[in-house]
A and B are shown apart, each in its own frame.
Chain A
Amino acid sequence: MASPLLEVTAVSKRFGGFVALDGIDFTVAEGERVGLIGPNGSGKSTLVNCICGTLVNETGSVRFNGETVDRLLTHERTRRGMARSFQLPRPFTTLTVADNLRVPLLYTVNARPGRALSPAELDARCVELLQLVGLADKATHLPRDLTQVEMRKLELARAMAAEPKLLIADESMAGLSHSEVDDIVGLLIRLNERGITIILIEHIMRAVMRFSQRLIVLVSGKKIADGTPDTVIRDTEVERAYIGQ
């Protein structure tokens, strides 16, 4: 078997006396679509932060693409092919929508070995990405002119602009309508078909079930289930965590 793209081993994180993550182990194979679910406060976002380097895990280690990335800063991990979107959109508020995408193109894509994009290619790539998420007509607007849905699309587009191997989408659909959720799930599946491995963190079960090939469940900082969606949702422990006894 080929080595996995992402390998999380015994990762723990505490905030003072509160144990947010308690020895998390899991792997993600290249090309996989993984759903990460769990009740509020179960440590999903903390886990993402540890994987991406925003937080430093006290124990355990994260391997990405065959390399231990524990000592790397976030931007170095991004350059190696890890991209994320934030749970609450964090656009660059003083840059236009198109320039928001230009940043990862300049600092990630052009920073990788190989040929750098020319200014014309950069412009073309911004337009292409905006068309992909349906924001082409907002290219010259500032993020404050966008609706919440558009803001989430921008967030995803910016993560995709970095041309990642692994995309971690942190609750990119919260607050969206039925059809908008379908839109984004469709978009993520299309990206996956292009070869991007995706971890989706989501509360909307309909989206998670449609998207995921495998589900990982976190409860109170512990992994309690890991398997195909159908077996996981029938797991009694998962049921207990979500619905209670």
Chain B
Amino acid sequence: MRTRVFLLVLIAVAAVVFFAARLVSNDYVFFAGYTVLQFVVLATAWNILGGYTGYVNFGSAAFFALGAYATVFLHKLYPLPIPLLIVTGGIVSGIVGFGMGYLTLRLRGAFFAIATLALAIVLQTLVVNWDYVGGSRGAYIIRPNEIAFIGPYIQYLFLLMLALAVIALTIARGIERSQLGYGFATIRDDELAAEASGVPTLRLKLVATTMSGALMGMAGAPFPYYIGYLQPSSAFALDYAVNSIAMPMIGGTTSWVGPLIGAILLGSLQQIATVTISSAVNLLIVGLLLVAFVIIAPNGIVGLVQGWMRGRAK
């Protein structure tokens, strides 16, 4: 019930964002906004596994790339509308997420993180050697210039990513307030005690890896249409793995607000840096902010605000 209200509020906010962006009457706003929104989805997806259950995934780029390459594959086979491609990307990445969860069920902490990193490398090697989707040469996707009702195609892509962000945030918040959220939190806190309290930890971990993977794949699916030319090194870029970890960490991992704040803050900063300085400075910004936050606010911005409010209450 209250989730439905939340969803309506989010849709309203999204509508305001979209029409405000149209008022600017400059397509660059949509190009930059798309990237920021894409990071909102990625950070939220990462946080479902990394923040709620405490399993750090270094392979976000792989799930993102899988979604993107599912699109390339289908585009060559038979062009489909993008919403359908998003669903397929989600299914493919969800299945791989489930598989990753199944193979790494008994791994914890650093060992789990290393396994996810290995998965990303294995998948990248596969794609590089797969000629049909372009191999290391990459693949071109020519996107139409216009689309009916909306106008410029980039606005359509922006709108889709906005919808995905709304969906991801609603799911994340829904989990937090449900039985699933309690189950995830007990896995993060103490798996032995969780089992002893009746929590099926292995099954819940699979739910988390699947959901997180699927959302990342969905974020990746429209990417070939956005970028126009997809090559393995851009789809599997380090930026995605690093950003989807850094954004929730900086925003705060215990609530859906954290990844949202982190993604908007870092994503916008990176866009500004790309225009004013150089895109090469992006990862430096992330690195510096991450170091600063680990020292000043280990629980992210949300943790900082909560601590401050608790301090005032006393």
A residues apposed to B, CB below 8 Å:
52-54, 73-75, 78-79, 83-84, 86, 90-95, 99, 102-104, 106-108, 110-111, 158-159, 161-162
Q: Name the interface residues of B187-231: CB closer than 8 Å to any CB of A.
A: 188-190, 192-202
**A92 close to B190 (CB less than 8 A):** yes
**B186 close to A103 (CB less than 8 A):** yes
Partner of B185, one of A78, A95, A110, A161: A95
Chain A residue nearest in CB terms to B188: A94
Residues in chain A near residue B201, CB distance under 8 A: 75
Q: A159–B185 Cα gap in the complex (Å)?
A: 18
**A90 close to B193 (CB less than 8 A):** yes
- For the A-B complex with A53-B195, A54-B195 known, give 8 more contacts whose Cβ atoms are closer than 8 Å: A74-B195, A75-B194, A78-B195, A92-B189, A94-B189, A103-B183, A108-B198, A158-B193
**A108 close to B197 (CB less than 8 A):** yes
Residues in chain A near residue B190, CB distance under 8 A: 90-93
Most B CB within 10 A of own CB, among A54, A75, A79, A162? A75
Which 5 A-B pairs rank lowest in CB-CB distance, beginning with the nearest? A108-B198, A74-B195, A107-B198, A90-B193, A92-B189
Q: A78–B193 Cα gap in the complex (Å)?
A: 11
**A52 close to B254 (CB less than 8 A):** no
Q: A79–B200 Cα gap in the complex (Å)?
A: 10
**B189 close to A75 (CB less than 8 A):** no
Chain A residue nearest in CB terms to B197: A104
Is B179 on the interface with A (CB-CB < 8 A)?
yes
Number of contact residues on B: which range applies? Answer: 20 to 34
**B198 close to A95 (CB less than 8 A):** no
Q: A53–B202 Cα gap in the complex (Å)?
A: 14
Q: A106–B200 Cα gap in the complex (Å)?
A: 12
**B195 close to A162 (CB less than 8 A):** no
Instruction: Report if A162-B197 is in contact (Cβ < 8 Å); known contacts: A107-B179, A107-B183.
Output: yes
Chain A residue nearest in CB terms to B200: A75
**A158 close to B197 (CB less than 8 A):** yes
Residues in chain A near residue B156, CB distance under 8 A: none
Chain A residue nearest in CB terms to B201: A75
What string of 1s and 0s marks CB contacts (under 8 Å) between B221-263 and chain A?
A: 0000000000000000000000000000000001000000000
B residues apposed to A, CB below 8 Å:
179, 182-183, 185-186, 188-190, 192-202, 254
Partner of B193, one of A73, A86, A111, A161: A86
**A73 close to B196 (CB less than 8 A):** no
Chain A residue nearest in CB terms to B189: A92
**B193 close to A92 (CB less than 8 A):** yes
Q: A94–B189 Cα gap in the complex (Å)?
A: 7
Residues in chain B near residue A91, CB distance under 8 A: 189-190, 193
**B193 close to A107 (CB less than 8 A):** no
Residues in chain B near residue A111, CB distance under 8 A: 198
Q: A159–B179 Cα gap in the complex (Å)?
A: 18
Contact sample, A vs B, 22 pairs, CB 8 Å cutoff: A52-B196, A53-B195, A74-B196, A75-B194, A75-B200, A78-B196, A84-B196, A91-B189, A92-B190, A94-B188, A95-B185, A99-B182, A102-B182, A103-B182, A104-B197, A106-B179, A106-B183, A107-B199, A108-B197, A110-B179, A158-B193, A161-B197
**A106 close to B195 (CB less than 8 A):** no
**A95 close to B189 (CB less than 8 A):** yes
Most A CB within 10 A of own CB, among B186, B188, B189, B198? B198
**A86 close to B182 (CB less than 8 A):** no
**A162 close to B185 (CB less than 8 A):** no
Q: A162–B198 Cα gap in the complex (Å)?
A: 8
**B189 close to A106 (CB less than 8 A):** no
Residues in chain B near residue A92, CB distance under 8 A: 185-186, 189-190, 193-194
Partner of A93, one of B189, B198, B199, B202: B189
Instruction: Report if A79-B198 is in contact (Cβ < 8 Å); known contacts: A95-B185, A106-B182.
Output: yes
Instruction: Report if A75-B199 is in contact (Cβ < 8 Å); known contacts: A86-B193, A95-B189.
Output: yes
Chain B residue nearest in CB terms to A103: B197
Q: A105–B193 Cα gap in the complex (Å)?
A: 14
Residues in chain A near residue B199, CB distance under 8 A: 75, 103, 107
**B185 close to A94 (CB less than 8 A):** yes
Residues in chain B near residue A73, CB distance under 8 A: 195, 200, 202
Q: A110–B200 Cα gap in the complex (Å)?
A: 13
Residues in chain B near residue A107, CB distance under 8 A: 179, 182-183, 197-200
Residues in chain B near residue A79, CB distance under 8 A: 198
Q: A158–B197 Cα gap in the complex (Å)?
A: 8
Residues in chain A near residue B194, CB distance under 8 A: 75, 92, 103
**B186 close to A95 (CB less than 8 A):** yes
